[in-house]
Amino acid sequence: MLKIANYEFNSHLLLGTGKYADFRLQQQAVTASETEILTFAVRRMNIFEASQPNFLEMIDVDNYTLIPNTAGAKTAEEAVRIAKLAKASGLCDMIKVEIIGDQKTLLPDPFETLKTCEILLDEGFIVLPYISDDVVLAKRLQELGVHAIMPGASPIGSGQGLLNPMNLSFIIEQSTVPVIVDAGIGSPADAALAMELGASGVLLNTAVSDAQDPVKMALAMKLAIEAGRYGYEAGRISKKTYASASSPTEGMSTVEQG
């Protein structure tokens, strides 16, 4: 069970909705993933193409919790504005705070993120900041009262997987709110590892949308996240330097040498 503020989810997978080649394929991928949470971006509408389809119209929004993001914002002021626009849709009260501080790496700006979270918490939002794997920033945001911490595994869309599992572990260990590993997931193994470290969830987009078979990858991610979660709950063995026989060493039947 994933709990964010007063929301409860059976699935630990949060799925981004960008970059899909077509909506039908996306719909199938979303269904296969069994996700209950979809993320969106807020953008200007093309008012001259009202007939243009929108993915939101293709799903039953009552079956999903929508988390809009503040992507595109470079400052706290811009992020707060986007968050308010998103909330005015009446479709959600959660917001993923995403403020990019560097265009090449798309790494988040910690200062603007902190400032934004403070303002949005005051305004009553459920706030989920996307951050680098910075342990101290995670702690500071938690003290502010954010509802989840979302550290990146590696740069957005890079598919490089967990570049610093140790930092993610530190963040998870100290956290009193859900930690959702966001960005950089490339393969089911990455998603499973994040969950094995004790993450409460994984947010991914490109790993599914850009896979050769997005529907099959969505299923693979669902299974990997479940496997990782079970593995975490079961408690893995510690790593040892030398071998430890699985078969008993006693009671061997031997041939007497005559």
Segment near other proteins (CB under 8 A); pick from 54-62, 116-124, 140-148, 234-242 = 54-62
Residue keyed to tokens 């595994």:
153
Per the CB < 8 A criterion, the answer to whether 197 and 165 are in contact is: yes
Q: Does 183 bind other proteins (CB under 8 A)?
A: yes
How many residues touch other proteins (CB under 8 A)?
Answer: 39
**Could you give the dihedral angle defined by the CA atoms of residues 217, 223, 225 and 228, in that order, rounded to the nearest 10 degrees?**
-130
216 noted as active-site residue: no
Instruction: Say whether residue 108 binds other proteins (CB under 8 A).
Output: no
- Report the chain's terminal Cα–Cα distance, integer Å: 64
Amino acid making up residue 23:
F
Q: Is 95 in the site for other proteins (CB under 8 A)?
A: no
Q: Does 89 bind other proteins (CB under 8 A)?
A: yes
Q: Does 91 bind other proteins (CB under 8 A)?
A: yes
Which 3 state secondary structure label does DSSP give 65? strand
43 lies in the site for other proteins, by CB under 8 A: yes
245 binds other proteins (CB under 8 A): no
Fill in the DSSP letter of residue 149: B
- The answer to whether 156 contacts other proteins (rule: CB under 8 A) is yes
**DSSP β-ladder status, 2-4 and 7-9:** antiparallel
Torsion over CA: 137, 138, 139, 141 (sign): positive
Window 195-224: residues binding other proteins (CB under 8 A): 203-206
DSSP run (H or E) holding 7: strand 7-9
Map the footprint of other proteins across residues 130-149, applying CB under 8 A.
Answer: none
Catalytic member of 3, 74, 84, 96 = 96
Least Å distance, CB 12 to other proteins, is 17
Amino acid 73 reads A
Name the strand (E) or helix (H) holding 81. Answer: helix 76-88
Q: Which of 11, 28, 34, 56 binds other proteins (CB under 8 A)?
A: 56
Catalytic (active-site) positions: 96
Interface residues toward other proteins, by CB under 8 A: 16-20, 26, 39-45, 47-48, 50-51, 54-57, 66, 68-69, 71, 84-86, 88-91, 156-157, 183, 203-206
